[in-house]
Amino acid sequence: MNWEPWTGCYPVSTGCDNCYFYGPNAKRFGQNEITKTDKFDWPIRRNKKGEYCIKGGKILATCFATDFFLPEADLWRKGAWAMIKERQDIDFLIITKRIERFKESLPEDWGDGYDNVNIGCTVETQALADQRLPLFLSYPLKRRFIAASPLLEELDLSPYLAKVDHVTVCGENGRDGRLCEYAWIEKIQKQCQAAGKTFWFKSTGTRFRTQEEVVKVNPFKQGALAKSFQLDITDGKRLF
């Protein structure tokens, strides 16, 4: 389930170059116009019986069509945090490329984190990993993971794995999606294995180099192809 309290975004790094905001769906998503949506209060809406419309036990992917830490959303974020705190029976999954804004965007009662908030820091290149992850690991969080998405080159994440719970990896989707290589995925998987962390190869992206060739992958088949390599590490654990 996705919750988009606001919509719109704009590029901050090379991983944004082929974002769907600026592709075929740009008009639908409002491009870089940041606006509050009519689903802003969705997590706390109630039905005629007085029950929450969203039942407990769900995972809400939050701001996956924008960024939770956009400065333009500062006026609305306090209200979003209040709803997140109210719904302790729901897990809120938040991925960001703006991790440098995390600390200044926290609610006053954050402490060492909310139990129901899981933050993912996105990295696309080694330079961005080395820039963002030290900051990410310095922040007070009870749950955190790394999202190598879109993965644009070989990464060494081993210096950063001790303090994260999980790593997710994706290639880049879209007509102009850049190449992702099996060897890069396998290297990160081995780093996670050595560190005792869960790992999910979510999707290959549009252009993917297997062990034998470069293939163009239909968007609806990228997840299945990724799964076929059997690289995921779950060990019976919940990933998010």
Residue 214 CA to its chain's centroid (Å): 26
The C-alpha angle 137, 141, 146, rounded to 5 degrees, equals 50
Q: Is the peptide bond before 150 cis (omega within 30 degrees of 0)?
A: yes
List Cα–Cα distances, 85 to 79, 80, 135, in angstroms.
10, 9, 24
Q: Check whether 23 has a pLDDT greater than 70.
A: no
Hey, where are the domains in the chain? 1-119, 143-240
pTM metric for this prediction: 0.93
Question: Which two structure tokens, joined as six digits, stand for 50?
Answer: 């007085």
Mean pLDDT of the chain: 94
Phi, psi at 194, each rounded to 5°: -65, -30
Residue 109 CA to its chain's centroid (Å): 24
Q: Check whether 26 has a pLDDT greater than 70.
A: no
Q: Check whether 22 has a pLDDT greater than 80.
A: no
List Cα–Cα distances, 152 to 13, 116, 118, 179, 181, in angstroms.
12, 31, 24, 7, 9
User: Which of 112, 50, 46, 117 is CA-nearest to residue 77?
Assistant: 117
Q: Check whether 150 has a pLDDT greater than 60.
A: yes
Per-residue model confidence as pLDDT tens digits over 170-190:
999 988 899 999 999 999 999
Higher-scoring residue by pLDDT: 228, 30: 228
Q: Check whether 81 has a pLDDT greater than 60.
A: yes
Distance CA 201, CA 169 (A): 5
> What average pLDDT does this structure show over 34-38?
94
Q: What is the DSSP string of 45-80?
A: -B-TTS-BSSPTT-EEEESTTS-TT-GGGHHHHHHH
